[in-house]
Amino acid sequence: MSADNETAQDRRRLKRRLSFWRIVAIILVIILGIWIFDTFSEDDLTDHVARLDVSEIIVENERRQEAIGRIRDDDTAKALIVYINSPGGSTYGSERLYKALRRVAEKKPVITIIGTIGASGGYLTALAGERIFAGESSITGSIGVIVQLTEFSELMEKVGVTATAITSGGIKGDPSPFKPVSKAGRENLQTMVTETYDWFVDLVTERRPLDESEVRRLADGRVLIGISALRNGLIDELGGIEEARHWLESERQISRSIPLHKIDYSEPKPLIERLFSGMLGKSVISERLTLDGLLSLWQPN
């Protein structure tokens, strides 16, 4: 093989390598550009109204708490609209969410909107807003607290299984799924439920233009649609996002022309997965939820 042929082949190989790395560089620049656009969107740099969606079962969520804290400290976020579509959840999770939203309300307007459902802990969350909106047929109310127990001692007896517990006190480990709840254990649970219920009632009384007797009349666990909730003073106005923006403009001078920025507090994903999910749609994988402790949850039997 002549030296000229070898030189030509070397040039072709070098050209192919250069073409490959040019393509790689272009792809990396595109990915970087998409990431920068995703991370530093225009709404993050200009005045906007933040929107926080509270959906499904309410549990403790540190990412949500941190997102709310960022909204509170973001001077470009002129107001916060909280869109609720939840039957409630753990009482403590709802309490933490409510208190975080009230801290935002110390610095800027917070408006809450009940979508399809905002009951029990969902309604507790709505109380954080200085104005509550709901649809005419939205499901709300269900003010109350519940502890649910499962006990299968009779089944264990039938299959010949026993359970033994060594405790430090009379009602330690009570309730248990392995034995009927004792009288003392039931009284202890009832005290917890009653005290938490009274706290919920006090919160509604504080936040709504109702006296305690009116709240207790409504706080028997009943659910109401938006029309009835408005008539009974549990919400302020029928409507949704559009009506909330109109109220902010007329009452708080926050123009409807500034953008609405939806806050994402979902589980962080690897960059590649986020890029492809942004281009191809949302992931269908959902988080597993567990509920422990006292519940403020509307769940029809």
User: Which residues are annotated as catalytic?
Assistant: 120, 172
- Cα separation, 97 vs 110, in Å, equals 13
Contact 111, 84 (CB under 8 A): no
The DSSP string of 147-191 is ------HHHHHHHT-------SSTTTT-SBTTBPPPHHHHHHHHH
- Cα separation, 24 vs 155, in Å, equals 64
What's the count of helices (H) and strands (E) in the chain, helices before strands? 10, 10
**SS3 for 27?**
helix
Distances (CA, A) of 240 to 57, 61, 117, 122, 261: 21, 25, 13, 16, 16
- Cα separation, 247 vs 56, in Å, equals 27
